[in-house]
Structure 1
């Protein structure tokens, strides 16, 4: 008879699964809409809430702070965005930054422009905001930017320090609260400091990024993926690094929200629903 693996401590399980976060949100939603929800019964309400969380539909039409609050929420939102607007890719339409932001705001009314612009710069490799992008190019860059936002912000600080010849050892790892307080104009100015033709030694960046992973508390791409990219070039810029990351299938699998690029426009279940309509 095989031995069972030791049980995960309750505190660790609650922290990893963010159960208390979802429970708190469920209670808050219940109190705000108690007349609507209580007529179905409390047991049914909580069952449907957590079923929605499990299925990834809970992020629809929620505020930005909620959809970015947990890795599961971020992955769920990326998947919902893909499923809702996959037809844009099937029609081979090319859209602008503002048009992609409008689509995102249909699902999250207060989705900030800054996040969309950051994803755009990964695709375009510069500060252009009026160029058109394909759906497939945008969505993988958006996935990387949105899911790993805190980590990428820290890498950007490290990269700018290396460009300026400074020691990156004093880089402050941002928290969710500090990013929320960051003024949009300041964030945009910060990104404008990075020019597409700039570059640093990949070995130096790799060493600093590896040290960042040791102390980083948020999600980040695997070290092997980042090391693989940095070993393939003699000079690397911030956006070329991010572009290479966004194209890795291993990154896509780690997030677990999107299919491979070959299957991006294939969704039989959604096609059946559209056929019914």
Structure 2
């Protein structure tokens, strides 16, 4: 076999792998083969048809473990759609605890922190409170008394879960931004900013520059994975709007950090482009739960 033939074979293998990864087909192919060999049905073709029909309708995630539920964007949006159908049959408003308990009816090991964070973003968007991002004693709202309307929570939850890695990256970058800001102050001989100190407008501007620098570098890394990611230009624009919110300046730094993060998440959820990215990935109309 000549070098050209070997190169062609390798390129074909890479193209095949990229195709399967792009559409997340390997997740479903591996899963259905495992289930097929475990159940050994008499009519395997019917079994395969039923499995992929459940994937198409979005019912495949029912009573599956969290690792499977989060494995693809389709699974995540299907989960949010199924959760919405359950919530619509219940009361009009729910606390974060109640929402998590209902999510566990679909996936018994679904992490409470995902539901809780989505509930916090919804609470901020509705103006009910400014949630505490990193558990400062003076910013602890009673999470069991804040009741959220279903439509607002579902919109936030669907977006947060679909873009989970991006949201987590944004929070991680904010931590690193604050750390870098403090280190730069110390190196310049300025006083360390404590959590109770107040950020000035100039401080917020410096923080934004640091944040955007981190964001641009890490977006490139995240794009190597098959997860939903905001386009660079949109991400930078949303960050700018979040840092420019008037409430972020002249308040204690722990409060400012929470405001910036939750304003950022609110901007993402409210973005028509973000909603369009999810609809393009999995059209909601295609998910018809039985």
Q: CA deviation at 1:167?
A: 9.4
Is the CA contact 1:252–1:258 (under 8 Å) kept in the aligned structure 2?
no
Q: CA deviation at 1:95?
A: 0.7
> Corresponding residue for 2:277?
254
Q: Which has the larger radius of gyration?
A: 2
Q: How does 1:254-273 map to 2 (within 5 A)?
A: 254-256=277-279
Q: CA deviation at 1:71?
A: 1.6
Match of 1:229 among 234, 238, 248: 238
> Corresponding residue for 1:184?
none
Change (3 A) 1:87 1:225: farther
Q: CA deviation at 1:12?
A: 1.9
Change (3 A) 1:138 1:104: same
* CA distances 1:166-206 after superposition (whole Å, capped 9, x unpaired): 599xxxxxxxxxxxxxxxxxxxxxxxxx99x9894434323
The 2-side partners of 1:234 and 1:157 are apart by 20
Q: TM-score, normalised by structure 2?
A: 0.67
Q: How does 1:81-96 map to 2 (within 5 A)?
A: 81-88=83-90, 93-96=92-95
- Give the root-mean-square deviation of aligned CA atoms: 3.2
The 2-side partners of 1:69 and 1:116 are apart by 17
Match of 2:48 among 46, 49, 62: 46
Q: Tell me the number of residue pairs that the alignment of Structure 1 and Structure 2 aligns.
A: 225
Is the CA contact 1:79–1:258 (under 8 Å) kept in the aligned structure 2?
no
Change (3 A) 1:225 1:258: farther
Q: TM-score, normalised by structure 1?
A: 0.70
The 2-side partners of 1:20 and 1:159 are apart by 34
* CA distances 1:217-256 after superposition (whole Å, capped 9, x unpaired): 2322233332332333525611111122112222122112
Structure 2 unpaired stretches of 5+: 1-11, 124-129, 133-140, 184-194, 249-259
Which structure is richer in relative contact order (CA contacts within 8 A, separation 6 or more)? 2
Change (3 A) 1:242 1:27: same
> Corresponding residue for 1:126?
131
Q: CA deviation at 1:147?
A: 1.4
> Corresponding residue for 2:252?
none
Structure 1 unpaired stretches of 5+: 1-6, 169-193, 260-265
> Corresponding residue for 1:208?
214
Change (3 A) 1:53 1:258: closer
